[in-house]
Structure 1
Amino acid sequence: MTHPLVGHLAPDFTLSDQNGINVSLSALRGTDVLLVFVPWAFSPVCTYELEQLRDAEDLVASDAKVFVVNCDSKFVNQEWAYQNKFPGTLLSDFWPHGEVSRAFGVFDEELGRSQRGTFHIDADGVVRWALVNPTGDSRDLDAYRKVLGLV
Structure 2
Amino acid sequence: MTEVPAPTEPRLRDQFGQPWAWPPVVAPEGAAAEAEAGSLNGVWLVFLPGAFTPVCTVELRWIDQLAQLCFPERIGVRVIAPDAAPVLRAVADEHQITTPLLSDFWPHGAAAQRLGCFDSETGRPCRTSVLITTDGVEMARVVGEPSRPRTVEQHVDAMVSAKRPDVG
TM-score > 0.5, shorter chain as reference? yes
Distance 2:50 2:58 in 1: 12
Alignment of 1:16-35 (within 5 A): 16-26=13-23, 28=25, 31-35=41-45
User: Which position in structure 2 is the counterpart of 1:100?
Assistant: 111
C-alpha distance after superposition, 1:80-106 (max 9, x if no partner): 110000011011010011111111111
> 5+ residue gaps in structure 2?
1-7, 27-39, 162-168
| Greater RCO, CA 8 A, separation 6+ | 1
How well do the aligned residues superpose, as a CA RMSD in angstroms? 2.5
Alignment match of 1:127 (pick from 135, 138, 141)? 138
Distance 1:146 1:58 in 2: 11
Alignment match of 1:115 (pick from 120, 126, 131)? 126
Establish whether residue 46 from structure 1 lines up as the match of residue 87 from structure 2: no
User: Which position in structure 2 is the counterpart of 1:77?
Assistant: 88
Distance 1:107 1:133 in 2: 13
CA 1:74 to 1:125, structure 2 compared with 1: closer, same or farther past 3 Å? same
SS of 1:28's equivalent in the other structure is coil
8 Å CA contact 2:9, 2:110 repeated in 1: no
CA 1:52 to 1:27, structure 2 compared with 1: closer, same or farther past 3 Å? closer
C-alpha distance after superposition, 1:31-53 (max 9, x if no partner): 31100001111111101101111
The range that moved more, 83-92 or 119-128, is 119-128
> 5+ residue gaps in structure 1?
1-10
User: 1:70 is matched by which residue type in structure 2?
Assistant: A
Q: Percent identity?
A: 31
8 Å CA contact 2:131, 2:140 repeated in 1: yes
SS of 2:141's equivalent in the other structure is strand
User: Which position in structure 1 is the counterpart of 2:65?
Assistant: 55
User: 1:127 is matched by which residue type in structure 2?
Assistant: E
| Structure with the greater alpha carbon radius of gyration | 2
The range that moved more, 38-47 or 119-128, is 119-128
